[in-house]
Structure 1
Amino acid sequence: MDAQDQIDAQPFSAEQVRDALDRVQNSDEFKGSARMRSFLSYVVVETLKGRSDAIRAKTIAMDVYGYDADELLKREGVVRVDAGRVRRKLQAYYESKGVADELVISLPVGSYAPEFLPGAQGNRQTLRRRRRATAISIWLALMFAGVLVGVLIGRTSQPVAPEAGKTAIYDVSPARVEAMNLSNAGRDLIFPVTDPARLQPALLIFQTAIERDPLYYGGYAGAAQVETLFAIIQSGNPVSVELMHAADKSSAYALELAPDAPWPLSARAWFNFGAGNYDSAVRLSQRAVSLAPDDPHVAEFDALISLYTSDFDRVLSKSEHYGKLARNGGGLVFDNALGAAQFHTGDYAAAIRTFEETISRGGPFGPISAAYLMAAHWQNGEQDEAQRLAKVFSDTWPSFPLEALKARVFADPQPVQELVAAMKAAGWSGPDAAQTDAPQPVSSD
């Protein structure tokens, strides 16, 4: 019996099913877990839409958890574990506060499609019979598995994994596909950051992705990264506090939806960095990189966190890897982070080469790169070029608060003092702006 036939055969309307779902979602068993709520909501809604036959582990992995197609084979086990957790939570609810509910949502063993059964006492015998039938089925399955293992013992051929990426995308809901596409497009707009106006389109795209699919983590993760950047750039402005609170909520919810996905981990790391929780930021960022070493967007934020926590050796040690990522579509963050790390470790000639090569390849010549070039030329004994750049900086960006901004992002003030001292020696004089105090931790993971 398919989903619609099942609904029609029972005295339950779609509205009654949704009401039952709301009661379960708001129960003590479910309200503390967004992941379990998302799982149950997805399978119920898909069933009400007549798509119960299409609910599989891979569709849940992509639609609910946002895993990529090439992750499905190793992630389907997570779905099976979560299905068991949902069944246990449903059973606990209907044995306590839901004992008198007229409609029972059941998730049969061996299936991800829920059933909607009559509740109260009339259904208890049905549930007991169902459990006995399930136990017999499991026993028979175990017997068959034992025989199958015996047959397969000694075979040397290795299983060939199906090319999940070629077919799984067709099983994903259109809303999820749109949200994923929007989120990926938004990531490409985050850098380079030169002023808040450039970040606004990216934030709008992430907010649209959230509207399209509120259960996909990408929109929340991207929004958190942009909100944190906004807050850093506008440090000292009252709106900065509001932006950090928004980033806290967005990153926490992304991580709750997908606790082992690299992007939410990276987004939470960046929020923690902005909040001054540097140890947590480094730990989460390095975990994200370990899960997705070839994701250029994860690497970009990791490079910035390493740079601004003065782990210059980490940035330098990854220079070759950053170069590969940049050639495969990574942003210009890598080159700028590398040039800054070279400056702060005293390799001024290398810093000059890195920034100049980046600009020659079409990278932006903005106030940050100009500042480092100016300081590096001065420290490298090339005073005439340093003084020329100081004049260019003062003429082009007379009000850019470089000293205050760098003081905001560097955990240790010494690198900022070294950079500013060299710039002032070259003839630069920044705008009058109060120094921003280091951020105080607002939360921890």
Structure 2
Amino acid sequence: MGGKEKIEAPTLPDRDSIEETLDAICASDGFAAAQRLQDFLRYVVIETFEGRGAQIFGKTIAEDVYERSPDKEGDSSNLVRVDARRLRRALENYYAGPGENDRIRIHIDPGQYAARFEIAERRAPPAASRSFWRPGPVVLAIAATAVLAVAIFSVIHMFVSHEHETVALSPAAPPAESHRTAKREAFLEKSPASVHAFNLTEQARNFYYPELGKKPLAEARALYENAVKLDTHYFGAHAGLAQVIGFQSFHLPPGAERDALLDLAEFHAKEAEKYNAADAWTQSALAWAAFARRDIPDARIHAARALEIAPADLFAVDFDALISVLSGDYIRTISVTDPARYADLPLDGHLFQICVGVAKFHLGDFTGAIAALERNMETGGPSGPINFAYLIAANQKAGELEHARQLLEQFRTTWPTTRFDLFLYSFFMERAPVDDLVAALKEAGWEPPET
């Protein structure tokens, strides 16, 4: 940074005031746990204060703040852009809350990284010479806003209550087709593009469940991205995009590219929350984005909240079960995936039946694992190398050695070069469960193919 040419700075607050403002922002709830956003903010503020705002680029932030070398410029620039969006949103939230009365406001305008300072003049307190009180225009405006807020809250409450009466009647009761039709009609009232966005998300939502391969994930992501372009305010498009990007992140090694995907998943999950926080899909998206970042407490909170909102939503069940089993909470997995709770619902395409089989395997209930994994196949559930590997291992551990070997031959024929085990090591929170699976497969005669 020392060799940069200094450019004349505009009129700015004094250095002490800037430091105090930065300290207050960084100590607030929205920034305290986000060290990278703190570093980003301090860097652009100080650079701007020192007169170098016009020389702040994505590359300089990547090098000076993230210490990423120039040969990573493409990935790093993407990461900086994502963080810039997060920073702008975090500042907006701060000034809408704890910083609403701050004299100095810091802005990072879209399209640039230099800071912009807004200095509010301190107002003298109103004189108290009147013997009676009369509401002024500001008070009247606040009162009107309060009345409007109450009215809006009442409408929202009626809508949410109606939603819950329709969707969450009973875990065993399938959502009525009329409800789906009503949702489409509601979108049609907005615009044909909104209907098309809704239809794309409905199509994409089932698209990445049959397997966790790169191609179906990329195709699902393209559908969700198109839906976002058609209707950027539709929460489902953002929620689905957050989930599929979260899946994609597990196919990458740690590094800048994976970090960028994690940030992008979080961004779209937060966008879904902004447009409809009370929907189960939004909460599941927040849960999966948190799990991909390995924030297990936050992931579990949002996954459980999704099921509280819509206990009959099998997609919410999928993500709750997936997060539970991958984080080692096998009892939770089994409790939320009891097939009796969803006996009358179409189970094809849903992951939770595999999750309960995996959970039972790691709890030592190998017969139960076999039953769950076979039931998944019978009901048209997802089928791929992972659940087939667990079926082989469960048969091996249950003493069904001949059947395990027969299944292994089918596995070798269908997936001769797969290294599902490497993917599972990145997927599970701990290595031990994958070690147990691989040991059982080797007992049955499986050897990892050469990569």
Q: Please say whether Structure 1 and Structure 2 have the same fold, judged by a TM-score greater than 0.5.
A: yes
Match of 2:189 in 1: 172
Aligned mates of 2:395, 2:140 — CA distance in 1: 80
Match of 2:330 in 1: 312
Match of 1:401 in 2: 419
Contact 2:280 2:307 in 1 (8 A): yes
* Shift of residue 307, structure 1, vs aligned partner: 0.8
* Shift of residue 320, structure 1, vs aligned partner: 2.9
1:338 has 2:356 as partner: yes
Match of 1:437 in 2: none
**SS of alignment partner, residue 294 of structure 1:** coil
Q: Deviations over 1:140-188 (max 9, x none)?
A: xxxxxxxxxxxxxxxxxxxx98999769828831143332332222212
1:262 has 2:280 as partner: yes
Q: Which moved more, 1:299-308 or 1:246-255?
A: 246-255
Q: Deviations over 1:232-270 (max 9, x none)?
A: 134468743432232122122222333333222211210
Residues 344 and 276 of structure 1: CA distance in aligned 2, closer, same or farther (over 3 Å): same
Match of 1:103 in 2: none
The residue type paired with residue 169 of structure 1 is A
**SS of alignment partner, residue 430 of structure 1:** coil
Aligned mates of 1:219, 1:185 — CA distance in 2: 11
1:353 has 2:371 as partner: yes
The residue type paired with residue 226 of structure 2 is T
Q: How many residues align?
A: 297
1:193 has 2:198 as partner: no
TM-score w.r.t. the length of structure 1 is 0.58
Q: Deviations over 1:31-72 (max 9, x none)?
A: xx9xxxxxxxxxxxxxxxxxxxxxxxxxxxxxxxxxxxxxxx
Match of 1:253 in 2: 271
Aligned mates of 2:216, 2:189 — CA distance in 1: 32
Q: Which of the numbers 410, 417, 429 marks the counterpart of 1:411? A: 429
Match of 1:300 in 2: 318
Contact 2:320 2:333 in 1 (8 A): no
The residue type paired with residue 173 of structure 1 is K
Q: Deviations over 1:65-88 (max 9, x none)?
A: xxxxxxxxxxxxxxxxxxxxxxxx
Structure 1: give runs of 5+ residues left out of the alignment. Answer: 1-32, 34-88, 97-127, 140-159, 434-445
* Shift of residue 299, structure 1, vs aligned partner: 1.4
Aligned mates of 1:259, 1:200 — CA distance in 2: 26
Match of 1:279 in 2: 297
Aligned mates of 1:134, 1:360 — CA distance in 2: 60
* Shift of residue 327, structure 1, vs aligned partner: 2.4
The residue type paired with residue 394 of structure 1 is R
* Shift of residue 277, structure 1, vs aligned partner: 1.1
Aligned mates of 1:202, 1:220 — CA distance in 2: 12
Contact 2:312 2:342 in 1 (8 A): no
Match of 1:55 in 2: none
1:181 has 2:222 as partner: no
Q: Which of the numbers 392, 404, 418 marks the counterpart of 1:374? A: 392
Aligned mates of 1:377, 1:345 — CA distance in 2: 15
Contact 2:348 2:381 in 1 (8 A): no
Contact 1:307 1:337 in 2 (8 A): yes
Structure 2: give runs of 5+ residues left out of the alignment. Answer: 1-29, 31-95, 104-135, 148-160, 167-178
* Shift of residue 301, structure 1, vs aligned partner: 0.9
1:391 has 2:387 as partner: no
1:226 has 2:244 as partner: yes
Note the aligned Cα RMSD (angstroms): 4.0
The residue type paired with residue 193 of structure 1 is E
Match of 1:40 in 2: none
Residues 381 and 285 of structure 1: CA distance in aligned 2, closer, same or farther (over 3 Å): same
**1:205-220 aligned within 5 A:** 205-220=223-238
Aligned mates of 1:396, 1:296 — CA distance in 2: 29
Residues 130 and 190 of structure 1: CA distance in aligned 2, closer, same or farther (over 3 Å): same
The residue type paired with residue 198 of structure 2 is M
* Shift of residue 346, structure 1, vs aligned partner: 1.1
Q: Percent identity?
A: 30
Aligned mates of 1:132, 1:245 — CA distance in 2: 42
TM-score w.r.t. the length of structure 2 is 0.57
